[in-house]
Amino acid sequence: MTKNFKDFKLNESLLINLEELNFKSMTPVQEMSLPHVLDGKDVLAQAKTGSGKTAAFGLGILNQLDLSRMSIQSLVLCPTRELAEQVAKELRTLARMQKNVKVLTICGGMAQIHQENSLAHGAHIIVGTPGRVLRLIKCKALQLHRVETLVLDEADKMLDMGFYDDILTIREELVEDIQTLLFSATFPDEIKSLSKDLQEDAIEVTIDVEHDSSSIDQAFFEMNDHQQKNQALIKILANYKPERLIVFCKTKVITDNVAKLLNKEGILACAIHGDLEQNERTSVLTKFSNRSLSVLVATDVAARGLDIKDLEAVINFDLPNNAESYVHRIGRTARAGKNGQAFSLFTRKDLYILDDIEELTNLKCNIENIDDLSDEKTYDLSPPMKTMFIAGGKKSKLRPGDILGALVGEAGIAATDVGNISILNVVSFVAIKSELIDSTIQKLQNGKIKNKKFRVGLA
C-alpha cells in the first residue's frame, strides 16, 4: 500500500500545504527516498523526469530549515537554467505555508551584479548551475560555510556537460559533515564515482527508472546517410501528423539546421540549445508549453528537465549515444496514461545502439522502410494558440486574474479563448486562440490592465 505524506515526520505547515496542493499519494521515488532524506542520510536515487523527485528532496530541505537565521542552508545544483528555474519554482510552491522562505536562483544568462545584490540580502536555499555558482564563490559573493544539504539534480547530465571538477571544487567550499542527495536518470560509471567522492554510506534507490514503453508506438528507419534524414523527417510528419513533438539532435548546428528546414516547409519550429540567450529560451519554452509552437528541436542538454504535458511524439533525428538516453527521450511522450509515438532515424554505424536498446528494454526494435511512407501528404498543421507578451510582470504586481480580467473586459474575448498565463519578473506571456490574437493585441494596446497601460505585442 502506498504511504501518505502524513506517515512521515513533516512539519505541520508542509502537510497543510500538501493537502491544499492535492498531493494525496506519494510517487515511488518519494516513498522510497523521502524517509532517508528526513533521517539525514545520503541518498543516491535513479529517477526519470516527472517522477516527483523535486518533492522528494525538497520536502526534506524545507523540513529542516531554520527560519530564524537568514543563511544559506541548502544548495541545489542543476545542469541547465530551465531546470534550475523549474526546481526553484516547485520549492517555492512547497514552501507556501512557511513564512519568509527565500529561494534564490543563481544561473548564467542573468546579470551577475543582480545576483550579487540578491545574495547580499540573504537566502535560505540556492538553486543554481555549477558554472555560475562557482563564479560567485570565487568573487566572494557566495558564502556556503553554513550549508547543511547539497543536492545534485540530473547529475548525469551535469557530468555530460563537463561539470565533474566544478562540482568537486564547490564541495570543497562546504563543511565536511553535510547531507548529500544525488538524483540521476541514469547510473553510468561516472555517477558511481561521483557518489564515492561526495557521499558516505549512501542509500541507493533505483525504483521508477524505466518508462512504460508499452504505450509508445516505436519505429526505426534506416538511412543511407545523414543527408537523407531531412526528407525522412518531413515524410514522418506528413504521414503521422503529430500535433506537438520534440525532435532530438546531437549538436547545436544540426538543431539549428533542422529548425530552418521545418520552417521552410511551413512547419512552425524553434531550436533550443545552449547558445540561446535566456530571454529567447524562456520565450521558446513558453510558446511550446502553451501550444503556440508545433515543434521543439532540441539537444539533450537543452531539453533536460522539461516535463511537457500531452506530447504526442518524439523523433530522434540523431540517436543518442546510449540506450538509457534513448529510453529517457521517448519517455517524454505517453505521459499520464496516454499513448505516444517515437520515431528514430539511424545509419548503419548506429546499429550497436539498437542492440543496446533491445537488451535494455527486452523489446525488438521495429525497423521500417521510409519508402513505404507516402510522398503525397503534407504536414500543414498550425498551432491552435499564439502567444502575446505584456511588458509587465511580478515587479508590476500583475496576477493572472488581472490579465484575464483585462482580456475579457477590455479585449472582449471569452475566458475559454485564453490559454496559459505565465508571469515572469518584468514580462508576461499569454496564450490566445490563433484566430483572435491580432484583434486581441489591437484592443489591449488601447486598453488597460489593472488601470495601467502596458506595451503588448506578438511574442
Task: Give 188's pLDDT tier (boundaries 50, 70, 90).
Answer: confident
Contact (CB, 8 A) for 223 and 345: yes
pTM metric for this prediction: 0.70
CATH number of the domain at 421, please: 3.30.70.330
Same domain, residue pair 404 and 367:
no
pLDDT at 96 over 70: yes
Alpha-carbon dihedral sign for residues 193, 194, 198, 202: negative
Task: Give 377's pLDDT tier (boundaries 50, 70, 90).
Answer: low
Q: Is residue 249 part of a domain?
A: yes
Q: What is the pLDDT of residue 82?
A: 82
Strands 179-184 vs 43-46: parallel, antiparallel or unpaired? parallel
CATH number of the domain at 255, please: 3.40.50.300
The percentage of the chain sitting over the pLDDT mark of 70, rounded to a whole number, equals 94
Same domain, residue pair 337 and 239:
yes
How far apart CA 207 and CA 444 sit, in angstroms, is 50
262-314 tens-digit pLDDT = 999 889 999 998 788 778 888 898 899 899 999 999 988 766 656 677 789 99
Same domain, residue pair 176 and 238:
no
Kindly report the CA angle at 384 between 383 and 388, in degrees rounded to 5? 90
Same domain, residue pair 344 and 241:
yes
Same domain, residue pair 365 and 232:
yes
Q: What is the pLDDT of residue 430?
A: 96
207-244 tens-digit pLDDT = 644 545 567 899 999 999 999 999 999 999 999 989 89
Same domain, residue pair 24 and 127:
yes
Among 312, 343, 372, identify where a domain stops.
372
Task: Give 91's pLDDT tier (boundaries 50, 70, 90).
Answer: very high
92-101 in b/e form (b: 16+ CB < 10 A) is bebbebbeeb
Question: What number of residues does the chain have?
Answer: 459
Q: Is residue 377 part of a domain?
A: no
Q: What is the mean pLDDT of the chain?
A: 89
Among 205, 221, 248, identify where a domain stops.
205
How many domains in the chain? Answer: 3
How far apart CA 447 and CA 445 sit, in angstroms, is 6
Q: Is residue 351 part of a domain?
A: yes
Cell of 132: 555560475
Q: At what angle do helices 28-38 and 53-63 cross, to 10 degrees?
A: 20
Q: What is the pLDDT of residue 337?
A: 60
Helix (H, G, I), strand (E, B) or coil at 174: coil
Top pLDDT among 111 and 376 is at 111
Q: What is the pLDDT of residue 1?
A: 47
pLDDT at 42 over 60: yes
| Residue span of the structural domain in which 402 resides | 385-458
Contact (CB, 8 A) for 215 and 340: yes
331-359 in b/e form (b: 16+ CB < 10 A) is bbbbbeeeebbbbbbbeeebeebbeebee
Same domain, residue pair 31 and 130:
yes
